[in-house]
Structure 1
Amino acid sequence: MARIAGVDLPNNKRLEVALTYIYGIGWSRAREICEKTGIPCTKRVGELTPDELNTLRKFIDENYKVEGDLRREVQLNIKKLKDMGCYRGIRHARGLPVRGQQTRTNARTRKGKRKTVGGTKKAKAK
């Protein structure tokens, strides 16, 4: 298994698919990396020579923010929004949808499991 940016890439996958295993690299960026490094996208990771792997590692490290650095940056951006107290920061802090989606129904991904509020009847006085 080839290791790039702290991620083990599967040997049996094509290079453009394997690169998407790295956080911060999607399909278009994977293709772009292949084109700029001159390595064919159709080549399997197991078939790459050590020189090609080093070229990939170097290119990705120099040109892109991936994995831990990118995750850290995203978390810092969210923390900055929370500290500012802006609308988006408040939504992040409360665990609600941030981008204007409705919350009366749906939004279960952000809100979590349902918590029923109300709906209980009071006991009758004798």
Structure 2
Amino acid sequence: MSEVRGIVRVGDTDLDGGKATAYALTKIKGIGIASALAICRRLGIDPYAPLGSLGEEQISKLDWAVRNLNEIAPPWFLNRRKDPVSGRDLHLIGSELILAAKNDIDLMKKLRSWKGMRHAAGLKVRGQRTVTTGRFGPTAGVVKKKEGPQQSKQ
């Protein structure tokens, strides 16, 4: 019986080798359970086998598939379609995904769009109510004054 590795590195992320392959892959930012299952099925890997029990060749295939999901999945499955910079359909993972989201928000702020203005002001962006939620500071609700001995009811 082969040895199960405790930590496996895929997509610049350390993953738990004891978890099922599909569920371990979901710890990579930008890979959800649907993406993980699709990758496993496409490569012919059992999605419920422990990640640490896979061979070196299978792990390198997984790493390639996670990094190049745009080459093996249809465009509607990707998380960044028609990238504004390159015009290509991409699937970003990890720090690339975080950086792209930050750049998108900065572009909205620069263009002074409605969403950009809301981001800049630190307010809700997607139409939520702000009367009772999203308040800042330690006080969340309305505070009543304490009644003193002279102000007692008669």
Shared fold, TM over 0.5: yes
Indicate the residue corresponding to 2:129 in structure 1. Answer: 102
* 1:48 partnered with 2:48: no
Alignment of 1:68-87 (within 5 A): 68-87=95-114
CA gap 1:112/1:9 in 2 versus in 1, 3 angstroms: farther
Distance in 2, Cα, partners of 1:113 & 1:40: 49
Unaligned runs of 5+ in 2: 1-6, 70-90, 146-154
Unaligned runs of 5+ in 1: 121-126
Higher RCO structure (Cα 8 Å, ≥6 apart) = 1
Structure (1 or 2) with the greater helix fraction: 1
| TM-score, normalised via structure 2 length | 0.70
Distance in 2, Cα, partners of 1:11 & 1:112: 42
CA gap 1:70/1:12 in 2 versus in 1, 3 angstroms: same
CA gap 1:112/1:89 in 2 versus in 1, 3 angstroms: farther
| TM-score, normalised via structure 1 length | 0.84
Indicate the residue corresponding to 1:34 in structure 2. Answer: 40
Give the CA deviation at 1:107.
2.3
Q: Which runs of 4+ in 1 moved over 6 A?
A: none
* 1:7 partnered with 2:34: no
Distance in 1, Cα, partners of 2:64 & 2:108: 33
CA gap 1:58/1:73 in 2 versus in 1, 3 angstroms: same
**Percent pairwise identity:** 31
Give me the CA root mean square deviation: 2.2
Deviations 1:27-60 (A, max 9, x none): 1111111111111101101111100000001111
Distance in 2, Cα, partners of 1:103 & 1:34: 43
